[in-house]
Amino acid sequence: MSKPRYRRRKEDRPQEITEAAFDAFADKGYASTRVEEVASRAGVSKGLLYLYFKTKEELFKAVVKNVVVRRVDALIALVDKTDQSSEAFIRGPASRFLKEVPDSPVAVIIRLLISEGPRHPDLLDYYYQNVVSKGLAVVQRIIRRGIERGEFRPSIVDELPHLFLAPVMMSVVWRSLFGKRSLDTDKLIDTQIELLLAHIKA
């Protein structure tokens, strides 16, 4: 009547390992995280981990791909579903979404990409295709819709959707370096949005 020392759970392992890896990478960064550490957090042996992921690098890629895709797609869905005015949408759901980023898993991924990206060009390509360009496109789309509806006037801003993301980026970096001290990231993002709206409103 001894308890089994482990359960066979082929289906769940990859996801669990991926999540453990995310946590570990978030704490220590990619290079400084030992595979053993990931395995231990996932409650499995190192050997098993290597059954599901051929190398540490592949694990890294799996983590990145795993976390981000949902989020962007969520925002896109949001945009398509809404019937608010563009301005209301930007001030409401879009603003909330952006303000969440610095505390979300996305922030961790961004940090990981900055650190390790240059050594993983194919990963950067993937990320650019599936996250960055989609993200920029969706911002642009909101603005253009506003223009078509006569809410906004054409301006340089709709060629530079990056302007909406800059304070978010800054917040992510700031938080990762200095924690919450001396920068109210919500205020930064809000102010930038107000600035941009003031500039593009018809």
Partner DNA sequence: CTCATTAATGACTCGTTGGTCAGCAATTAT
Partner DNA sequence: ATAATTGCTGACCAACGAGTCATTAATGAG
Range list of H helices, 94-161: 95-100, 105-116, 121-127, 133-148
Q: Which of 69, 78, 183, 197 binds its own copies (CB under 8 A)?
A: 183
How far is the C-alpha of 38 from the C-alpha of 21, rounded, in Å?
5
The listed partner (DNA, its own copies, none) that binds 202, CB under 5 to 8 Å by sort, is none
Cβ closest to its own copies, residue 38 vs residue 44: 38
Structural tokens at position 165: 């993301």
Which range binds its own copies by CB under 8 A, 1-9, 63-71, 72-80, 118-126? Answer: 118-126
Retrieve residue 43's tokens: 């409650």
Both tokens assigned to 73: 């797609």
Selection from DNA, its own copies, none that 104 binds (CB < 5 to 8 A by kind) is none
- Cα-flanking dihedrals φ and ψ of residue 154, to 5°? -60, 140
Number of residues that bind its own copies (CB under 8 A): 42
Taking the complex as a whole, the smallest distance from the CB of residue 20 to DNA amounts, in Å, to 12
Decide: is 147 part of the binding site for its own copies (CB under 8 A): no
